[in-house]
Amino acid sequence: MSNLFNKMMGKTRYVVCRLFLHLAGSEVAPILGVLNRAARAAIDADGDLEILGGELVEICETLLRYDEYWLSAANEGDVFWDEGEAGDYVNELFTDSAQRYGAEADFSSASSSDQSFSIPVTRNVVVMLTVAYEGEVPELESDLSNIQALKAGLKAVINLHQKHKLRAIQVHFSPAQLGDELTNDQLLQYFPELIPL
């Protein structure tokens, strides 16, 4: 009812939320491959939300498949009735995510595929997903620091893309470069909000 009333009043409800997910273990490195490929596709997409949403769905599905490696998580967000204010908050979160350890990837230098296999493989990966959407999604607007809630949240993100409700999509991850390592000390330093699952 309230949603209908808001529509009548010409008010659109915008939600901006950011989700942190920390995966750990010797098998998490392939996730970086999926994330790097998605990041390159995102650059090529040049802001096309349909393409970005497709990449986001693939990332969420990959994370759901790797749920046994989930170690900690966090989420935050806010509701806006003004599109400009929502956009400002998206930019704020973008800047914050990009400044985290190793989250600013450099895709300008093409890495050679014949790299030696002696590069260190990180045991920690943190994925930061920021989305802005219209409407109300209870699965994303609650505490996601338990496994069931987090699974429901990732599925809700997939659903938002399928319903064409996403207005902004950002994906950051640390370490962004293959061969970089995210140590336990760096985790504590750069991702203090993470809560063990």
Give Cβ neighbours of residue 162 (< 8 Å, ≥ 6 apart).
57
Q: Which residues pair with 126 in a beta bridge?
A: 22, 174
Average pLDDT of every residue of the chain: 87
pLDDT score, position 73: 97
Enter the tokens of residue 157: 């993100």
**Identity at 4, one-letter amino acid code:** L
4-13, 90-99, 166-175: least confident range: 4-13
- Our measurement of the distance from residue 87's CA atom to the centroid of its chain's CA atoms, rounded to an integer in Å, reads 17
pLDDT score, position 151: 97
pLDDT band of residue 103 (cuts 50, 70, 90) is confident
**Gap between the Cα atoms of 169 and 93, Å rounded:** 11
What value does the mean pLDDT take over residues 109-131?
Answer: 68
Higher pLDDT, 122 or 97: 97
Enter the tokens of residue 192: 């203090």
- Our measurement of the distance from residue 144's CA atom to the centroid of its chain's CA atoms, rounded to an integer in Å, reads 13
pLDDT band of residue 28 (cuts 50, 70, 90) is confident
pLDDT score, position 112: 41
pLDDT score, position 176: 83
- State the maximum Cα–Cα separation within the chain, in Å, rounded to a whole number: 61
Q: Which residues pair with 115 in a beta bridge?
A: none
pLDDT score, position 179: 76
Helix, coil or strand: residue 158: helix
Instruction: Say which residue the tokens 């496994």 belong to.
Output: 147
Give the tens place of pLDDT for each residue, 143-157: 999 999 999 999 999
pLDDT band of residue 7 (cuts 50, 70, 90) is low
pLDDT band of residue 1 (cuts 50, 70, 90) is very low
Phi/psi for 44 (5° steps) reads -65, -30
Question: How many CB atoms are closer than 10 A to CB 100?
Answer: 20
